[in-house]
Amino acid sequence: MVEIYQPCYDGRLPVLADYQRLERCCKESLPFVDDLQARLADVLANIADTPISRLEKLLPRD
């Protein structure tokens, strides 16, 4: 597992690289996701109150 403080080969932090990869995937395959930051904020606000069996409701749908 990559540590958060360990830079990637291109100098970016792994978390930033993952966020950029997620953003690119969402824009390419999920056209209804206009504001990724708002979507992530919604997920983070609701994840603590969501039972494990219902986590899929926080995932984007095709």
State if pTM tops 0.85. Answer: no
Are 45 and 58 in contact, with CB atoms under 8 Å apart?
Answer: no
Q: What single DSSP character describes residue 26?
A: H
Are 17 and 8 in contact, with CB atoms under 8 Å apart?
Answer: yes
pLDDT in tens, 3-62: 444 445 555 555 565 677 667 766 666 544 556 777 788 888 888 888 888 888 877 664
Backbone dihedral region for residue 55 (phi beyond 0: left; psi -120 to 50: alpha; all else: beta): alpha
> pLDDT value at position 32?
46
> pLDDT value at position 56?
81
> pLDDT value at position 37?
72
Q: What single DSSP character describes residue 41?
A: H
Closest C-alpha to 12, from 20, 25, 27: 20
Domain boundaries, the chain: 14-58
